[in-house]
C-alpha cells in the first residue's frame, strides 16, 4: 500500500530511539565530588585498601556515600566538595603509605544500572570544565645531537672490534668526524661503516697528514629521529600526567615539533609545569682519584683522559670516571621515602635486568671504593637581552651523594642527598621515564572553573535558543508536518548526545558549535521534502502520491548536500587539530543522525498519520 512502512522498519526506528535514549541518559545526572586512589607500582589489594580507606574516613569524621572499586584503583564519592577536600587530606601522605597516589576527581553520578550497561556521560573539554593548556616545543636539535653522540660511541666500539686503527672520533658541527693516520686506513673503515651504518651519509677529506671520514644523518634518518623523539616524549608526558592523577587528559601531537597537553580540572599550573617540563635524571659513576687530585684538576684545568670534573652542591670539585655505571634510562621503578638510619629523604631505586647486571658486576669489582650519584637537570632560564625576551638552556650536573661500596649491589638500593620535594619529584620522573629531548612550554593558558561553567551555560543556551526558534518556525510554517520535523529534530539531538557518550568523546565549545549548526541543517532535508510535497499538491497530484513524490524525489538532492558536507567535515577531522577536530566530530555525527531522523524517521511518523487513508488535504 502507498505510504506504509513494513513492520521491520518501525522496529529499527524504535530500536535506534531506545538505544539513543538509554545512552544519552547519563548526561542528565551530573557529577559527584570524588577522590581517586591508585598505586605507583604493583597491584592494589582492593579489599584491604577499601577497608583501610573506610576506617580512615570514619575515624576522621568524613562521610562518604560510596566507595567504588575500579580497575586497579578506588573511587570514593562524597556528598560535597568540603567532604571531598577533607577526605583527600586524610588519605594523602603517609596515611595509606608512600605507594599510594590520591587525586581529586569529579566522578559521573550515573546510576549503577546504567553503568552496568556501560552507559557513561561524554567528557567535557578544557574550555567547559576548566584546567590548564600547555603548548610544548620539543628541542629537536638536542634530539639529533643525542643521536649523533650515540653514533660516536657506536662507531668507536665498532672500529675497535674490527681492529681498524683510528686516531680520534668526535661530534663536530652536526656530523661525526673520524680521524685516521692514512687514506688507506680511512678507505678500509669507510667500506665497513657504509655496510653497517646505512642511515649515515659519508664524505671523505684530508687535512695535513691525516685523512677524515665525515658522517651525518641522512634526511630520512633525521626525520625518523625527530618523530621518535616526539612520540617518546608524548609517552613520557602521558606517564607523568598519570602520576599526577589527572582524569581525562589530552596529550597529542601538533605539527612536527610540538605537543599539546590539556589537563582538565587542574588549577595548580606551577606544579604541572615543573613535572611536565622537568628533565631530571640520575647517573651512577665511580669516583676517580683522591681529594688532592680533585683540587689539582680544578685549579689547573688538566683533567685525566678517563675522568670528568664535577662539582658537589657546595661547589667542591670531584673527579668521576667517564664510564657510566647506570643511567636513569635503566631505572625500572623509583619511590620517595626516608633513610631508616639517618632519617634523610631518599629515593629507592629498582633497576631493570641490564642495569642490575651492570651494577652487580661493577660493585663486585670495586668494593671499598667510592661511587657517586650525579643529579642531572636541563633548565630553561628566561632572560632579557637587548630588550628582547630570550630563553637560555643550561645543563646542571651536580654530585649529590658519594658513598663507599660496602657490598655487592644488585637491582635495588637507595640514593640520598636530595631534599624532600626533590626526592619526591625525582622519583616521579624516574618512574615516568626520561624525556628523549627537552621540551619548552611556549604557550600556557589557564581556564578557571567559573569560566568553564559560563561556557557550559552559554553553549547550552545557544543550543536551546536555536532549537526553539527552529521549532517555532517549523510549527507555524508547516503545521502538522512541521511538528513531525520538530520531533525528528529532538530525536536528532538525543542521538548526537548518545553517540558522543557511547564513544566517550570529549565535548568542547567548537563541538557545541557543531551541534548548533546541525540543529539548523537538520531541518533542511525536511524543508526540501515539504516544499516538494507542496509543489506536487499545487500541480493537482493526489495527497498520497504527493507525499510519496516529496520523499522520493527530494532524496537525491538531500543526499548530495549532506554527503558533500560530510566530506568537508571528514577533511577537517583528518587535517585539523584540537578544537577543529571537536567541531568536525559533532558535525559528522549530526549529519548522519539527521539523515536518519529527517528521512526515515519523519516518513515513518507521516505514514502512521496519513498512510493508507483517504485524505482530501494535508496540514502542510
Q: How do residues 338-363 score in pLDDT, each as one tens digit?
A: 777 777 777 787 888 888 888 888 88
- Taking the CA atoms of 367, 368, 369 and 375 in sequence, report the sign of the dihedral they define: positive
Which pLDDT value is given to residue 61?
84
Q: Greatest CA span in the chain, whole angstroms?
A: 112
Q: At what angle do helices 7-24 and 602-610 cross, to 10 degrees?
A: 130
Shared-domain flag, residues 419 and 480: no
- How many CB atoms are closer than 10 A to CB 557? 14
- How many CB atoms are closer than 10 A to CB 111? 12
In a domain, 127, yes or no: no
Residues lower than pLDDT 50 in the chain? 1
Q: 588 near 566, Cβ under 8 Å? A: yes
How many domains does the structure of the chain reveal?
4
Shared-domain flag, residues 536 and 568: yes
- Taking the CA atoms of 363, 366, 405 and 307 in sequence, report the sign of the dihedral they define: negative
- How many CB atoms are closer than 10 A to CB 130? 20
In a domain, 227, yes or no: no
Which pLDDT value is given to residue 146?
80
Helices (H) and strands (E) in the chain, counts: 17, 22
Shared-domain flag, residues 361 and 491: no
- Position of cell 658486576? 361
Shared-domain flag, residues 397 and 313: yes
In a domain, 270, yes or no: no
Which pLDDT value is given to residue 239?
76
Distance CA(479)–CA(33), nearest Å, equals 46
Where does residue 264 rank: exposed (0-12), middle (13-18), buried (19+ CB within 10 A)? Answer: buried
Q: 99 near 40, Cβ under 8 Å? A: yes
HEC string of 109-124? CCCHHHHCCCCCCCEE
- Residue range of the domain that includes 93: 30-109
What are the backbone angles phi and psi of residue 140, rounded to the nearest 5°? -70, -25
Domain boundary among 371, 403, 434: 434
In a domain, 249, yes or no: no
Q: 307-312 and 388-404 as β-strands: parallel, antiparallel, unpaired? A: parallel
Question: CA dihedral defined by 488, 492, 495, 500, rounded to 10 degrees?
Answer: -170
Q: Domain with 482 in it: what CATH number?
A: 1.20.1640.10
- Taking the CA atoms of 355, 358, 363 and 364 in sequence, report the sign of the dihedral they define: positive
Shared-domain flag, residues 292 and 323: yes
Shared-domain flag, residues 288 and 402: yes
Distance CA(252)–CA(395), nearest Å, equals 27
Q: 460 near 154, Cβ under 8 Å? A: no
Q: 344 near 416, Cβ under 8 Å? A: yes
- How many CB atoms are closer than 10 A to CB 289? 16
Shared-domain flag, residues 21 and 35: no
- Position of cell 578544557? 126
Enter the pTM of the model: 0.61
Shared-domain flag, residues 420 and 472: no
Distance CA(131)–CA(104), nearest Å, equals 13
Which pLDDT value is given to residue 381?
57
Residue 280 to residues 264, 358, 373, 375: CA-CA distances in angstroms? 25, 22, 13, 7
Which pLDDT value is given to residue 451?
59
Domain boundary among 222, 255, 270: 222
Q: 127 near 506, Cβ under 8 Å? A: no
CB-based contacts of 115: which residues, under 8 Å, 6+ apart?
none
Q: Domain with 310 in it: what CATH number?
A: 3.30.1360.200
Shared-domain flag, residues 215 and 290: no
- Taking the CA atoms of 281, 286, 291 and 295 in sequence, report the sign of the dihedral they define: negative
Shared-domain flag, residues 453 and 598: yes
Shared-domain flag, residues 496 and 573: yes
Ordered DSSP codes for 339-350: -TTT--EEEEEE
The per-residue pLDDT for range 185-214, each reduced to its tens digit, is 899 999 889 888 888 999 999 888 889 999
Q: Domain with 62 in it: what CATH number?
A: 3.30.70.260
Residue (of 278, 282, 287, 225) closest to 256 by Cα position: 225
CB-based contacts of 613: which residues, under 8 Å, 6+ apart?
none
Which pLDDT value is given to residue 318?
92
Question: CA dihedral defined by 248, 249, 253, 257, rounded to 10 degrees?
Answer: 180
Terminal-to-terminal C-alpha distance of the chain:
22
Where does residue 112 rank: exposed (0-12), middle (13-18), buried (19+ CB within 10 A)? Answer: exposed
Shared-domain flag, residues 171 and 297: no
Residue 30 to residues 33, 110, 262, 265: CA-CA distances in angstroms? 10, 8, 22, 15
Q: Domain with 172 in it: what CATH number?
A: 3.30.1360
CA angle, 246 then 251 then 257, to 5°: 145
In the numeric block, which cell numbers belong to residue 522?
537538520
Amino acid at each position: 500500500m502507498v505510504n506504509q512502512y513494513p513492520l521491520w522498519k518501525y522496529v529499527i526506528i524504535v530500536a535506534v530511539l531506545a538505544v539513543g535514549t538509554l545512552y544519552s541518559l547519563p548526561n542528565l545526572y551530573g557529577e559527584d565530588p570524588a577522590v581517586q586512589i591508585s598505586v605507583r607500582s604493583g597491584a592494589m589489594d582492593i579489599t584491604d585498601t577499601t577497608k583501610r580507606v573506610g576506617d580512615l574516613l570514619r575515624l576522621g569524621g568524613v562521610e562518604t556515600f560510596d566507595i567504588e572499586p575500579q580497575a586497579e584503583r578506588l573511587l570514593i564519592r562524597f556528598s560535597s566538595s568540603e567532604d571531598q577536600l577533607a577526605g583527600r587530606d586524610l588519605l594523602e601522605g603517609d596515611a595509606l603509605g608512600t605507594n599510594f597516589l590520591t587525586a581529586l576527581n569529579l566522578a559521573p553520578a550515573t546510576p549503577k544500572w546504567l553503568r552496568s550497561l556501560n552507559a557513561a556521560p561524554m567528557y567535557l573539554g578544557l574550555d567547559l570544565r576548566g584546567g590548564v593548556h600547555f603548548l610544548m616545543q620539543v628541542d629537536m636539535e638536542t634530539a639529533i645531537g643525542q643521536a649523533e653522540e650515540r653514533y660516536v660511541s657506536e662507531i668507536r666500539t665498532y672500529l675497535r672490534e674490527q681492529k681498524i686503527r683510528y686516531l680520534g672520533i668526535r661530534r663536530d658541527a652536526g656530523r661525526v668526524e673520524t680521524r685516521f693516520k692514512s687514506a688507506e686506513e680511512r678507505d678500509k673503515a669507510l667500506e665497513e661503516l657504509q655496510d653497517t651504518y646505512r642511515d649515515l651519509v659519508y664524505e671523505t677529506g684530508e687535512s695535513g697528514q691525516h685523512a677524515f671520514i665525515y658522517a651525518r644523518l641522512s634526511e630520512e634518518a633525521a626525520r625518523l629521529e625527530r618523530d621518535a623523539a616526539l612520540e617518546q616524549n608524548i609517552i613520557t608526558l602521558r606517564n607523568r600526567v598519570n602520576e599526577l592523577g589527572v582524569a581525562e587528559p589530552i596529550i597529542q601531537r601538533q605539527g612536527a615539533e610540538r605537543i599539546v597537553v590539556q589537563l582538565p580540572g587542574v588549577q595548580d599550573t606551577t606544579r604541572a609545569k615543573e613535572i611536565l617540563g622537568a628533565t631530571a635524571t640520575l647517573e651512577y659513576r665511580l669516583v676517580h682519584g683522591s681529594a688532592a687530585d680533585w683540587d689539582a684538576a680544578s685549579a689547573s684545568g688538566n683533567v685525566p683522559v678517563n675522568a670528568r670534573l664535577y662539582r658537589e652542591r657546595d661547589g667542591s670539585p670531584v673527579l668521576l670516571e667517564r664510564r657510566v655505571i647506570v643511567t636513569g634510562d635503566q631505572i625500572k621503578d623509583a619511590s620517595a621515602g626516608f633513610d631508616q638510619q639517618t632519617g634523610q629523604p631518599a629515593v629507592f631505586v629498582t633497576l631493570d635486568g641490564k642495569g642490575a647486571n651492570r651494577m652487580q658486576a661493577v660493585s663486585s669489582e670495586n668494593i671499598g671504593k667510592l661511587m657517586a650519584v650525579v643529579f642531572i637537570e636541563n633548565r630553561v632560564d628566561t632572560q632579557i637581552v637587548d630588550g628582547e625576551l630570550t630563553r637560555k638552556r643550561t645543563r646542571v650536573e651536580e654530585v649529590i651523594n658519594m658513598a663507599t661500596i660496602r657490598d655487592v649491589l644488585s637491582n635495588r638500593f637507595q640514593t640520598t642527598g636530595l631534599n624532600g620535594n626533590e626526592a619526591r619529584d625525582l622519583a616521579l620522573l624516574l618512574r615516568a621515564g626520561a624525556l628523549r629531548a627537552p621540551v619548552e612550554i611556549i604557550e600556557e593558558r589557564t581556564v578557571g572553573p567559573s569560566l568553564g561553567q559560563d561556557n557550559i551555560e552559554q553553549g547550552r543556551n545557544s543550543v536551546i535558543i536555536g532549537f526553539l526558534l527552529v521549532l517555532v518556525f517549523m510549527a507555524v510554517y508547516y503545521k502538522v508536518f512541521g511538528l513531525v520535523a520538530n520531533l525528528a529534530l529532538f530525536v536528532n539531538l538525543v542521538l548526537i548526545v548518545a553517540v558522543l557518550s557511547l564513544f566517550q568523546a570529549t565535548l568542547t565549545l567548537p563541538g557545541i558549535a557543531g551541534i548548533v549548526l546541525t540543529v539548523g541543517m537538520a531541518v533542511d532535508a525536511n524543508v526540501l521534502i515539504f516544499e516538494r510535497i507542496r509543489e506536487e499538491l499545487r500541480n493537482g497530484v493526489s495527497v498520497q502520491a504527493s507525499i510519496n513524490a516529496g520523499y522520493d524525489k527530494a532524496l537525491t538532492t538531500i543526499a548530495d548536500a549532506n554527503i558533500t558536507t560530510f566530506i568537508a567535515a571528514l577533511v577537517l577531522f583528518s587535517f585539523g587539530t584540537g578544537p577543529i577536530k571537536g567541531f568536525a566530530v559533532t558535525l559528522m555525527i549530526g549529519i548522519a543522525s539527521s539523515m536518519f531522523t529527517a528521512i526515515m524517521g519523519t516518513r515513518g511518523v507521516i505514514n502512521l498519520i496519513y498512510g493508507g487513508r483517504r485524505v482530501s488535504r494535508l496540514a502542510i
